[in-house]
Amino acid sequence: MTQDQQFIIRGGRILSGTVRVGGAKNAALKVIAASLLSKEPWRIERLPLVEDVLRVVELVRSLGVAVSGPQVDGTVILHAEGEVVSDLDTEIAKRIRASIVLTGPILARQGRVSFPHPGGCVIGERPIDVFLKGYRAMGAEVAEENDRYVVTALGGLRGADIFFPVVSVTGTETLMMAATLAKGTTVLRNAAMEPEVASLADFLNACGARISGHGTPTIRIEGVDALGGGTYRTMPDRIETGSFALMAAATRSKIAIEACEPSHLDALWDLLQYAGVLVEKREQSVLIDATGSAPLAPKNITTHEYPGFATDLQAPAVVFLTQCSGAARVHETIFEGRLQWTGDLVRMGASIEMADPHRVFVHGPASLRGRSIKSPDIRAGMAFVIAALVAEGETTIHNIYQIDRGYEKLEERLRRIGADIRRVTGNQEPVISTSSVADDASYALSGRTGKF
Ligand code: EPZ
């Protein structure tokens, strides 16, 4: 039996104080990958020391990148000076979906890359068709051999006009990186507009790339011969910011969230202010005050590419909606499997009906009670932490490696704002798992099409 770490949480407490946000995991992962585009040293500051980031640092080291750090202060130096390996290690690449972003820089630098189909997870199948379509458009050959892809462009990549049939964050980032060293100009149409994409483009430009239009649906990249060195300070993690804001709101607490970028979360502030939560935004901090006694008003949520409501905040928002007075529909438009986790929330006492894999109806307020739960992925894991803080009694959350993938020193930061949470290591995993719960009769598809 593998060592299973758990969080033990006693809920029902009002939280208060200040929590500090870290660097954005989904920005840092891409800048680490992009270091393969240059033969000069890159310094990255404010790196979040979370599992996914530490794994990708290991991955680039295994490819031949010289790595100094990361230090405890989140600083790391990456230097891809010599030859790099162009075959991604299957075991590590399958563990980290984000490893797919490495294929662009390696292909651009080496003219060849081979990699396994990256793992999916409970949130969805996670296809890579837009990556392969983009590589072919840029003149590469794509072959599939024994569950691995081999992409070759021995004469180097050439600029292309590429339309994304679906908006893909890592697809946009990976092809943008590859295009920086292609011969000629590349245009990416229907590109992702997430702040992490713009942050990556700005840094690549600081290293000598020629990218424009980032942050809009059309990005233009003029290929250059080489990229230089530079220093990247990781942008604040907007999903961590939103997770803590929803935690404050769901527990009727007052929490100051520091070192964040409030302007990245307009869709969330709209939901919280509609509910009656006080949201005071400043330059790099936001105060969330939900200590009023008035009932919280629910609002329907539809997840959407940026600047719409972030799919990564859907799970924490569903827990918040269980504490609102009334009913709300949550429509998860991005991933087909990203509502499965709600089955376990029902077992904690939530009143949720699944209309189809993309839509649930949440009825509140519901009294939640502690129980043993397994964390299926990063964001559902954080949702269960929030649910445990709301619930009466004790909750054990298993498989918290998933939470450590995206949230650094979570229990330390939560204890500082008054949460009763501790980390223990044990061997027993819970009997219940989300998938078995999904078949649970009490969670059958209701087929209800009520007006919301
Ligand atoms: C990124 O994943 C994030 N991960 C995810 O965060 C985030 O949920 C997602 O963007 C959406 O915002 C990282 O940045 C490492 P997509 P990504 O490609 O790029 C479909 C977290 O918790 N699609 O934008 O993999 C896909 O199936 C993680 O931090 C194709 O059809 O997501 C999905 O339905 C979870 N073909 C939609 O596009 C493709 O080739 C959006 O996916 C690629 C994607």
Ligand 1 center to 95 CA (angstroms): 15
Beta strand spans in 46-111 (E): 66-68, 76-79
Catalytic residue among 121, 207, 260, 324: 121
List pLDDT tens digits, range 238-281.
999 999 999 999 999 999 999 999 999 999 999 999 999 999 99
158-217: per-residue pLDDT in tens? 999 999 999 999 999 999 999 999 999 999 999 999 999 999 999 999 999 999 999 999
Q: What is the pLDDT of residue 190?
A: 98
Q: Alpha helix (H) ranges present in 340-420?
A: 342-347, 378-390, 401-404, 410-415
Supply the mean pLDDT for the chain.
93
Taken in order of first residue, the domains within the chain and their CATH numbers are 3-22+236-444 (3.65.10.10), 25-233 (3.65.10.10)
Residue with tokens 């837009």: 130
Could you give the 3-state DSSP secondary structure of residue 44?
strand
**What is the number of the ligand 1 atom nearest to the C-alpha of 26?**
14
Instruction: From 151, 169, 194, give the residue whose CB has the most ligand 1 atoms within 8 Å, as the site to mutate.
Output: 169
121 catalytic? Reply is yes
Ligand 1 centre and the CA of 157: distance in Å?
A: 24
| The pLDDT of residue 238 | 98
Residue identifier of the C-alpha nearest atom 6 of ligand 1? 312
Residues 202 and 31: their CA atoms lie apart, in Å, by: 11
In the DSSP assignment, the letter for residue 35 is: G
State the Cα–Cα distance between residues 357 and 13, nearest whole angstrom: 33
Q: What pLDDT digit, counting tens, does each position of 124-153 carry? A: 888 999 999 999 999 999 999 888 999 999
| Per-residue model confidence as pLDDT tens digits over 68-83 | 999 999 999 999 999 9
Residue nearest to atom 1 of ligand 1 (CA): 169
Do residues 212 and 220 touch, judged by C-beta distance below 8 A? yes
Residue 202 CA, ligand 1 centroid: distance in Å = 21
Look at residue 146 in the predicted model and tell me its pLDDT.
85
pTM of the model: 0.94
**Residue among 297, 260, 294 nearest 280 (CA):** 260
Q: According to the model, what pLDDT value does residue 25 have?
A: 97
Q: Which of 25, 26, 129 to mutate to test the pocket of ligand 1 (most atoms within 8 A of CB)?
A: 26
Pocket lining: 332 vs ligand 1, CB cutoff 6 Å: no
